[in-house]
Amino acid sequence: MTTKNLLVELFVEELPPKALKKLGDAFAHVLADQLKAQGLATDESVVTAYASPRRLAAHISHVWLKAADKAVQQKLMPASVGLDASGHATPALIKKLQALGADVSDPLAAVAALKRAIDGKAEALFYDSLVTGATLDMGLQKALEEAIAKLPIPKVMSYQLETDCALPGWTSVNFVRPAHGLVALHGSTVVPVKALGLSAGNSTRGHRFEAAVDPVRIRDADSYASVLAKDGAVIASFAERKAEIARQLAAAAVRIGGGVKAIEDDALLDEVTALVERPNVLVCAFEQEFLEVPQECLILTMKANQKYFPLLDAEGKLTHQFLVVSNITPSDASAVIGGNERVIRPRLADAKFFFDQDRKKTLASRVAGLDKVVYHNKLGTQGERVVRVCHIATVIGKSLVPSGDSGLAIQAQHAAQLAKADLLTEMVGEFPELQGIMGRYYALNDGLSADVADAIEDHYKPRFAGDALPRNMTGVVVALAVKLETLVGMFGIGNLPTGDKDPFALRRHALGVIRMLVEKDLPLDLGALVAGAAPVFGDKITDASVALIDFIYDRLAGSLREQGYSAQEVEAVLALRPQRLGDVAKRLAAVRAFAALPEAPALAAANKRIGNILKKAQEVDPHVSEVLLQEPAEIALYAAMKAVLPQVNAQFDAGDYTASLQILAALRVPVDAFFDSVMVNAEALDLRLNRQGLLKSLHDAMNRVADLSRLAA
């Protein structure tokens, strides 16, 4: 028996565009996995997913008409339960064999056919049988039902099917959209499966307006995509359709000339791919007077509301032309172009109106209105929040300029006071995504400095992984203040992230704080930052600084592991809770270099041993009396420490952590000799305390850069 390729298609009403790609991939791969689980598909089977606005389909190669029979061995029961003293079958065994469909007309023969083997400590009875392989009809039915059940449907619809029975009535069906057709072809043969009230056939529907024939008849599984493209005017593959749109967008930009190019937005490209079956890119334009409006507003309304692709010139500035991906290809596209231009005009006019109206009031005049905007029922209004952020920003600004120059603190306080004012503007009310961006434009319109204006926009940064940091130090200070206010406040009222739920984006805020402290190498201590932010809340919160700092270090650990550092390296450095996060990268580099030394394993193991000894001792004074050093090995270790540790500490104080750790390699021999021949916990109290002090001095010096014991195997 040879395999053939399988094609399954569900033809439905227009699917939700933002979910289409996921739906298509899930449908195809669950279907294939189910067939493989039943032995109907092989490891060589290749799965190709298809997804268009009105169909989900899968092409699976190397599918059997019937799965191979499979030998199965089942454990029945312990032999002592299944057989009596004479070795005959007990009623329990007979009942079990009957349930399995075995022939028990001759009990002796039935028992003789069983296998006996040791299972654990006792002998057990095993039954061998041959399970008939699934047929494609039954197996595909099961796989199809499973694929439909496991679709990641964003919202289920309920609709009715007319029943086939003599009495009038309706059958209710739940699915992402009403389904109208089902195709199932094994080679060229229809597989008689059913789903969603539909019976499988070999016909589907093409493009609503441009299909050459209706219905479109699919000859066999392998001709699906080509027949649908030729007769149905549909590019069934999501990936091919996306590539075709990208090609047409680039070609249209080249035809326009002048170095223009369509804005790059993969999410928009995916969404548009999910809206059309046969794309046709057209060039449209709007009046140049609208370019007086900030381009972010125009770009957002074109992308979000109309799914258009704005065109940028060679300098990245918006032009008055844009690209539309149409789902039809008329001989004369002027009507389509004109229609899209008419649709976008009132939206751009609204944006211009909002911009003009907003500029009639200064940002400063809007600040008082924030007292009427609730931030959180336990933390007060946005106005109260602004007061807290201003205070935190002032403290940070002064910390960064210890010389007494208050310029940064004053600028940061000014920017912090105005940072949330644009929330009350018409433009941000219509397009919340523009918060901060519009604040910058309105600040410049009010005559404020570029530093303050940039900080108003940048205080939201970084907004996501890989986002840029604030472009100036004023922005960094305000962004830190805002994120710290959010973190301290939310932790202080117990509003913490749980599982995958993080409604206040506290993980993102923590990573933002980390990135600014690290990438800007700010001379700020994490503990001091958190402690400095807490008092501004008064009695609104309880102290949760320990939990918050742990949370930030957890986020830092995860980020470092994603950057390629090993768990051991990260644990060694973060175990010391370094307060200057800008030092972490240097510490990690030093630990990695140290771990590569041949002396590292022995020193790490010794460090761990010393730590365990000191944990069991009472508080240990690192003072060492030379008079009490008796054993040659402890005298040699003390001498080596006197020679080496000043160099270690000097390099550490100079910030050369790599050199500081590498110098420790010279202590390996005397440390090993010490543990080989010296009893630390001597009976004489003065000797014991002196040796513990010696180890305490060594332990402190060895663990200034990182906890080296974390490197021990």
> Residue length, the chain?
713
pLDDT for the residue 615:
86
Task: List the chain domain ranges.
Answer: 4-67+135-232, 71-131, 238-358, 364-564, 584-711
DSSP classification of residue 135: B
**Token pair for 643:** 């020679």
Q: Can you give 48-90 as a three-state secondary structure string?
A: EEEEECCEEEEEEEEECCECCCEEEEEEEEEHHHHECCCCCEC
C-beta atoms surrounding 102 within 10 Å: 16
Is 1.10.10 the CATH number for 364-564?
A: no
- Number of helices (H) and strands (E) in the chain: give both, helices first: 28, 20
H or E stretch at 674: helix 668-677
Is 166 within 8 Å of 49 (Cβ atoms)?
A: no
In a 3-state reduction of DSSP, which class is residue 118?
strand
Model confidence, pTM: 0.81
pLDDT for the residue 167:
47
pLDDT for the residue 404:
65
DSSP classification of residue 304: I
pLDDT for the residue 137:
93
Low-confidence ranges of the chain (pLDDT < 50): 165-167
Q: How far is CA 273 from the centre of its chain?
A: 23
Is 284 within 8 Å of 268 (Cβ atoms)?
A: no
Q: Where in 86-207 does DSSP place strands (E)?
A: 115-119, 122-131, 157-162, 170-175, 179-186, 189-190, 194-195, 198-199, 203-204
In a 3-state reduction of DSSP, which class is residue 694?
helix
Which class is 584-711 in CATH? mainly alpha
Of 457, 452, 516, 524, nearest in space to 483 by CA: 516
C-alpha distances (whole Å) from 433 to each of 430, 437, 457 are: 9, 9, 12
Q: Residue 298 and residue 573: Cα distance in Å, rounded? A: 48
Specify which residues 632 forms β-bridges with.
none
pLDDT for the residue 658:
94
C-beta atoms surrounding 437 within 10 Å: 21
Residue at 268: amino acid letter: L
Q: Residue 377 and residue 345: Cα distance in Å, rounded? A: 41
